[in-house]
Amino acid sequence: MKKKSFLLTTILIMTLSMFLAACGGGTEKEEGGAADGGDAGADKPQFISIVTGGTGGTYYPLGGAFASIISDETGIETNAETSGASAENMTTLKNGDAEIAFTQTDIASYAKDGKLMFEGNAVENVQAIGTLYPETIQIVTTAGAGITSVEDLKGKKVSIGAPGSGTAANAEQILEVHGMTLDDIEKQDLSFDESTAGIQDGTIDAAFVTAGTPTGAVEGLSATEDVVIVPIAQDKIDALIEKYPFYIQDEVPSGTYGLTDAVSTVAVSAMLAVKSDLSEDVVYDITKAIFENLDQVTHAKGKIISAEKAVKGTGIEIHPGAQKYYDEKGFK
């Protein structure tokens, strides 16, 4: 009986040892695979964050839609967060406090090159997923303000966007080609929502808003005020594009915000940037998820976003994972 009991105990111990060895071997394999650049899943994050912009802009609703798509399609829990937009977002990626960011192509270029607001503080750990849509520079005011040209902004209280946003650089460059500087206006650093609220209550006269049209904050203003979008003259547009080639000619269409005529202006492009240390497989899955589920994006800009256009004009290197997806689709 004792011999039988000893034999049974020995068998149980051997079985348990084999089980533990198998489990241990599996763990080593996963760890080794990740270290060797394999795709055993060890480098797939459980959670990622997308930094967007203010709630009154275009980044935030699009970011929310993208976060839902990524969560559903990849199994990575994804959250969209409000922020000060482009420039702040690039710094957030640099600091490792988010994985994906909305930004303007010009700001991404400044960040990688360490220019303008990034002088001495270049952002080297980012690459592009792709461009999304034109970001129209809208100089917003109301009929009662009496502002009909960029030159009329002189001496006025003008918001140039939230601190850290790319809108400030756009405002400075547009003023520059008109022979003006930020010293010629009473500069205010307000988010889009704060800007339109300030225009409505009379505490500011106008605001630069760089966002896809229609922009939610400006639409809200148009519900109670006769919105005016200040035009940029063709010769100034030409001068701006010549000096800063990342600009393109654009317009705010008639009917937008109740406008009776289209208004000439310029635009940069919105894009998605990503931390370069995310694996090729993860970024491939994210890119595929977004561009193959755009029918789930209810914002108007969803209709003009496409993978075919995404490879153009990013201003910075495309992440290998995103490039793999574009190569499969034959987009160059």
Domain boundary (245, 268, 291) is at: 268
Same domain, 280 and 204: no
Query: pTM of the predicted model, to two decimals?
Result: 0.70
Domain boundary (218, 244, 268) is at: 268
Same domain, 143 and 127: no
pLDDT of residue 251: 96
CB within 8 A of 103, min separation 6: which ones? 85, 86, 87, 89, 90, 111, 166, 270, 271, 272, 273
Which among 13-22, 284-293, 306-315 has the top mean pLDDT? Answer: 284-293
Q: Is residue 19 part of a domain?
A: no
Q: Is residue 29 part of a domain?
A: no
Q: Is residue 30 part of a domain?
A: no
Report residue 36's pLDDT band, with 50, 70 and 90 as the boundaries.
very low
Asked if residue 214 has a cis previous peptide bond (ω within 30° of 0), the answer is yes
Q: Is residue 25 part of a domain?
A: no
Task: Check pLDDT > 60 for residue 247.
Answer: yes
The first and second tokens of residue 203, run together, are 């505490």
The string of pLDDT tens digits covering residues 305-314 is 999 999 988 8
Report residue 24's pLDDT band, with 50, 70 and 90 as the boundaries.
very low
Q: How many other C-beta atoms can be found within 10 angstroms of the C-beta atom of residue 291?
A: 21
Q: How many domains does the chain have?
A: 2
Task: Check pLDDT > 60 for residue 39.
Answer: no
Same domain, 258 and 197: yes
Same domain, 140 and 252: yes
The CATH number linked to 293 is: 3.40.190.10
Same domain, 249 and 147: yes
Q: How far apart are the first and last CA of the chain?
A: 77
Q: Is residue 9 part of a domain?
A: no
pLDDT of residue 33: 33
DSSP annotation of 247 reads: -
Q: Is residue 325 part of a domain?
A: yes
CA distance to 104, 194, 269, per residue, from 55 (Å): 17, 11, 19
Same domain, 261 and 143: yes
Q: How many other C-beta atoms can be found within 10 angstroms of the C-beta atom of residue 38?
A: 16
Same domain, 140 and 241: yes
Contact 123, 90 (CB under 8 A): yes
Lookup result for tokens 């929502």: 193
Same domain, 172 and 317: no
Task: Check pLDDT > 80 for residue 260.
Answer: yes
Question: Which amino acid, residue 323?
Answer: Q
157-158-163-169 Cα dihedral, nearest 10 degrees? -140
pLDDT of residue 37: 38
The string of pLDDT tens digits covering residues 161-213 is 987 678 988 999 999 999 999 999 999 999 999 999 999 999 999 999 998 88
Same domain, 102 and 219: no
Task: Check pLDDT > 60 for residue 10.
Answer: no
Same domain, 161 and 232: yes
Report residue 42's pLDDT band, with 50, 70 and 90 as the boundaries.
low
Q: How far apart are CA 206 and CA 221, in angstroms?
A: 12
Same domain, 116 and 93: yes
Lookup result for tokens 């006769």: 226
Question: Which amino acid, residue 133?
Answer: Y
Q: Is residue 15 part of a domain?
A: no
Q: How many other C-beta atoms can be found within 10 angstroms of the C-beta atom of residue 200?
A: 15
Q: Is residue 316 part of a domain?
A: yes
Domain boundary (227, 246, 268) is at: 268
CA-CA-CA-CA torsion sign (206, 211, 213, 216): negative
23 compared with 106, residue with greater pLDDT = 106
Structural domain that includes position 285: 47-133+270-329
What integer best gives the mean pLDDT of the chain?
Answer: 88
Percent of the chain with pLDDT over 90: 74
Contact 80, 52 (CB under 8 A): yes
Same domain, 149 and 228: yes
